[in-house]
Chain A
Amino acid sequence: MMSRLWQDFRPFLALPDRQARRRLLAGAALAALTGLMGMALLGLSGWFITATALAGLSTVTALAFDVFMPSAAIRLFALGRTAARYGERLVTHDATLAVLAALRERLFRAWSAAGAARALALRPARILFRLTADVDALDTLYLRLIVPLCTGFIAALAAGITLAFISPLLGLAIFAVLILSGSVMVWRISRAATPATLRRAALIEGLRSGVIDLASGQTELLMAGQLPARCADLGALETRLAAHETRLNRIETGAGIVFGVIAALLPPAVLVAAAMSGIGAPGVALALLVAMAASETLAPLRRGALDLARTRLAVRRIGPGLAPPAPSVIPPSPKDGVAVCLHHVTLRHDGAATAVLGDLSLEIRQGEHIALTGPSGIGKTSLLQCLAGEIAPQSGEVFCLPSARLTQRTELFHDSMRGNLRLAAHDAEDAELISALTAAGLESLFDSLPDGLDTMLGDRGQGLSGGQARRLALARMILRNAPVWLLDEPTEGLDGQTARDVLARLHRAKDQKAKDRTTVVTATHTRREAENADRILVLGQGGILAIHIRGSPGFDAALTALRPD
């Protein structure tokens, strides 16, 4: 169990850099200092009052009593405690945010690896919800568990040492009781809370997707007579959720009782023990107040222990993402003069029973333009993904020059026009960006933009028409200096005139490029996208049905079979 816990958390230990690590340590130290100051304030006050009361009994001792040092120390501790607390909160929160910033970057890198990116494409909102909730859950690990544990340990140590001056056995006993009860309870609470926490997390996700289904699929459910049943399902889900939360509350309050009983028993017990040792009233008062302050550090542990299960779930889901990324499936380059080479390649989707494409062999020369045709779902996109290194072939060998891929959907980001374009070439000058926009046929749009390249494109590129968005995607392809272009239905959803203009510009851009001509592989349903191809590859029955070379009768027949504008 302990080793599994260690395994779960190990990927995160490497996360903070040296500076962040120093901050995390400093935060824990300040928290401990806060606890110590509070303990000293109370203990010293108790000693002071009792000692002054005894000294005050006779005028001689009263005059001899040094009041300056203790009263100054009391004020110092009062001020110091506040300062330490403020510092602690600043440092711990800053350190946490710094670690989370590093974590977000690492996770983004992990999610953008080939396999993960495809999984993400299937369930983006759910995974993102998880991802953000998991990252947010991680801050409790340090703030609510590690820091209180440090504080508790230091407080127990300080109380033990202080009381050891009264009686070594008493000091040892209080240290042992605090450490044992603290660690045993953290262990027990987190264990007891784990099943309910995990089920609760799953139920919340279920509730979320259930509500989405209910709201978006309302008409479908209503017409199928399933609306009341769906509501009843959600009601049952909510009842189970409430039951788990009540169970967690019982664990939490139960732990509160244990900690509370310890905090109620320990100070009076210490009082009696100190009185037994014959140290005198001031010492007894000091012992009592130190024991009170030390046992108060137990209570904050229960929240952290309760959250540990949630944190562990987050850590388990996030952890694999922190492992060094799997070896890239980016295909190696083929021999000179060849852009793409496939040897007996079989492609299969994750978990699919049958292969999409089997035993495929193909060679594409540099500068060639290939059109991939065939009905939807036959494997055109999969083949492009394979060439781009998105899917590793199940068997066979793939060689391909570095490629840029134009996906079916045009993704524009909530960013400036410049930021959107620079995705393709991060260090491109404005002049290059503008010439790419011109080449893509966006010069009139660009002239009309009030802020030029600084114009923000709305959420998911709103504010551009479908044709303009496609042209922007084309501008990005032009900026990206890749020897192979993989185009997935590049003009789908555009009207004929716009589509032809986009295609013409695409070919102009391709031919204008430097010495090595760009190789283009287009997956298409339409005649206009295939008519400039050197070869048409018809996919079907899990492989290549036919290859038609430009000028052959088959080529024209294949073109005619495609969709006109």
Chain B
Amino acid sequence: MSNRPKTEDAERPARQPIRLTLLPTLAAVLWLPQAGLLAQAISNVADRMSWGATILPAATAAAIGILRVILGALSERAGHQHARARVSALRMTAIMALSERAPLDRRAIPSGEAASMIAEQADSITPWLARFGPARMKAVLVPLAIFLAILPLSWTAALVLLIAMPVIPVFMALIGWQAQAASKAQLVEIGTMNAFLLDRLRGLATIRGLGATDQVATRVRAEAEGLRSRSMAVLRIAFLTSAVLELFAALGVAMVAVYVGFHLLGDLNFGAWGDTLSLAQGMFILLLAPAFFEPLRDLSAIWHDKAAGQAAQDNLLRLSRSERTLPEAGLPATPPASPGPQAASVLVAGLRFRYGDDGGTLPAGLDFTLAAGEHLALTGPSGAGKTTLLALIAGLDLPQAGRIEIDGEALTAETAPRLRARMAWIGQSPHIFAGSLAQNVTMGRKEIGQEKVSRALSDMHLGAMASIRGAAPIGEGGNGISGGEALRLALARIAVSPAGLVLADEPTAHLDPETAESVTESLLALAQGRSLIVATHDPRLAARMDRRISLPAPATVEAP
């Protein structure tokens, strides 16, 4: 974790270096000399020069055009690099924050939502960051440059463009709202459609069991058609507003062309500061007119990127701001300790802990010791703080007062990562990782060999399942695995670890009695030669421990 990105970096407002936003504008402005040269070439033809007189201006125009293209592409690349680097920083900050958030935090964003924020949604940040700034700069500066280039030649043509100019920002604002509203509505609609599909696909077994696939398929079609008609209602307005922009742009070009034509014909003798435009000047103006409106069209085209990109960035920043973190968060990483094979002892003295306003509390001043190799049951009603106590011993959070020692060493933010290497944890619904059964046992711990894994799996009665499933990935979120199997898998994870202290949080809570019984046996076999603390409601499991501490809702501790 040495190269962890700083949160401040991610929080910094997204702004591109000025050169990245100016370079595309510079490239766009190169069209002015290009247009001037092309107009001159045509004027040369009109002046009855030989065709050879067109070569120099045409070739120069082509050369400038190539320069323009290369500048544009370079700035596009630089803009992308810059934007992509920021997306990486945002993603990594969010991932770090996820890994460091307090496991007990109940207000945390659900993992599925976090995953889609980090994986897919973040995708929309890059185009926004890379393209929006330059496009906005172009929309301001390019029309201005063209206006200033035309004004000395013909105030009328400049005026025509100027009249279209204030109209367009008004419509742009309208389009901005429309596009934003449209894309939001669209996203909601598509989200609803996808949620509908997800709901029905999840229940496919039921649908098939009832022979209702046909009926539901028809319904899917009806929903999709509904999505279509509602989307079109929104798009119709959005397209209409951008059509108005296009209309003004097209009319602007047409009016400039007609004005210049009539002026050259001698019918409109005003507008060129008392002079008459030459063909080259008239042609120059005509070539610039479409370019005057183009940046606005580009900007409106990527306007919806902004809404999606900004929302995605806000989500990542929200994810990065977890209120409570692990004790060691922000401290330099400690090298992993090699745990000794012997059972660990635990000392708990004068513990006081209150988690937020709605979180768990502990009975004040809790004291007990656990000798090495001892098996202890924590019992008591729900909300008495059993899970909280286990979490504190595991160093998932630090107590407000009192101390915890593992093998005589105090548990602090600094020592927590090292002391945790002496412990193993099993929760009531263990998470199943994407990957094979064996990968789920090793969890990436490279020191655990294939043999050890096979032995642990067969010790936990998962041998048959391992031979049936082999190296095939087990289902997402453990789908296709029963609650009992998931617990055995979690036990196998502990079996391969050298931890001297096993912390088990209601391991039999969601199991039927038979499975609970056999999980209990496996847990006990596993805990041979290790210390064990089990938080449980299950009297049969509690009875198998050496000792029991009952945590009542009021703060008293008893040791039978």
Contact = CB atoms under 8 A, between A and B. Distances in A.
A275 B54 contact: yes
B207 interface: yes
A388 B98 contact: no
B99 A214 contact: yes
Interface stretch (A161-169, A203-211, A529-537): A203-211
B45 interface: yes
Interface in B311-350: 326, 333, 336
B468 A354 contact: yes
A75 B119 contact: no
Given A82-B246, A204-B119, A405-B209, A125 B112 contact: yes
Interface in B223-268: 224-225, 227-228, 231-232, 235-236, 239-240, 243, 246-247, 250-251, 253-254, 257-258, 260-262, 264-267
**Interface majority SS (helix, strand, loop, mixed), chain B:** helix
Contact of A224 (B69, B201, B216, B497): B497
B84 A245 contact: yes
B469 interface: yes
A352 B42 contact: no
Interface string A419-430: 000111010000
Given A49-B260, A97-B231, A112 B217 contact: yes
B179 interface: no
Contact of A136 (B91, B190, B235): B190
B126 interface: yes
Given A41-B254, A101-B228, A353-B467, A117 B417 contact: no
B95 A219 contact: no
Contacts of B476: 122-126, 209
B327 to A, nearest CB: 11
A89 interface: yes
Interface stretch (A175-183, A260-268, A314-322, A434-442): A260-268
B194 A132 contact: yes
B199 A413 contact: yes
Interface stretch (A64-72, A143-151, A500-508, A543-551): A64-72
A497 interface: no
A486 to B, nearest CB: 8
A123 B421 contact: no
Contact of B62 (A83, A204, A265, A413): A265
Interface string A195-227: 000000000110111111111111111111111
B1 A271 contact: no
A480 to B, nearest CB: 6
B408 to A, nearest CB: 21
B58 A53 contact: no
Contacts of B118: 207-208, 211
Nearest to B257: A45
Interface string A24-56: 000000000000000001100110111111111
Nearest to B434: A209
Contacts of B180: none
A268 B58 contact: yes
B204 interface: yes
B111 A216 contact: yes
B479 A272 contact: no
A426 B73 CA distance: 59
B174 interface: no
B203 A231 contact: no
Contacts of A496: none
Interface string A396-429: 0000001011110111111000000011101000
Interface string A262-304: 0111011101100110101100110010000000000000000
B209 A407 contact: yes
A516 B364 CA distance: 68
Interface residues of B, number: 150
Given A249-B80, A354-B467, A413-B203, A281 B46 contact: yes
Contact of B95 (A50, A226, A234, A480): A234
Contact of A230 (B99, B193, B207, B485): B99
Contacts of A271: 38, 41-42, 54, 58
Contacts of B204: 111-112, 117, 120-121
Contacts of A349: 468
Interface stretch (A4-12, A250-258, A361-369): A250-258
B407 interface: no
A221 to B, nearest CB: 7
A336 interface: no
Contact of A121 (B66, B205, B493, B512): B205
Nearest to A61: B265
B72 A225 contact: no
Given A97-B231, A120-B204, A124-B202, A49 B73 contact: no
Interface stretch (A235-243, A337-345, A447-455): A235-243
A354 B464 CA distance: 9
Interface residues of A, number: 154
A226 B1 CA distance: 12
Interface string B44-74: 0110000100110011011011101110110
Interface in A73-113: 74-75, 77-79, 81-83, 85-86, 89-90, 93-94, 97-98, 100-102, 104-105, 108-109, 111-112
Contacts of B119: 204-205, 207-208, 211
Contacts of B538: none
Contacts of B95: 211, 214, 231, 234-235, 238
Most B-side CB within 10 Å, residue of A46, A59, A280: A46
Interface of B: 1, 38, 41-43, 45-46, 51, 54-55, 58-59, 61-62, 64-66, 68-70, 72-73, 76-77, 80-81, 84-85, 87-88, 91-92, 95-96, 98-99, 101, 103, 108, 111-112, 114-116, 118-120, 123, 126, 190, 193-213, 215-218, 220-221, 224-225, 227-228, 231-232, 235-236, 239-240, 243, 246-247, 250-251, 253-254, 257-258, 260-262, 264-267, 278-279, 282-283, 286, 290, 326, 333, 336, 394, 396, 417, 420-421, 423-425, 427, 430-431, 433-434, 443-445, 464-465, 467-470, 472, 475-477, 479-480, 482, 484-485, 490, 493, 497, 512-515
Given A226-B444, A407-B205, A486-B209, 4 more contacts: A117-B204, A122-B480, A222-B103, A423-B215
Q: Sort A-B residue pairs by CB-CB distance and give the 5 closest, nearest first.
A: A264-B65, A260-B69, A411-B203, A215-B111, A405-B209
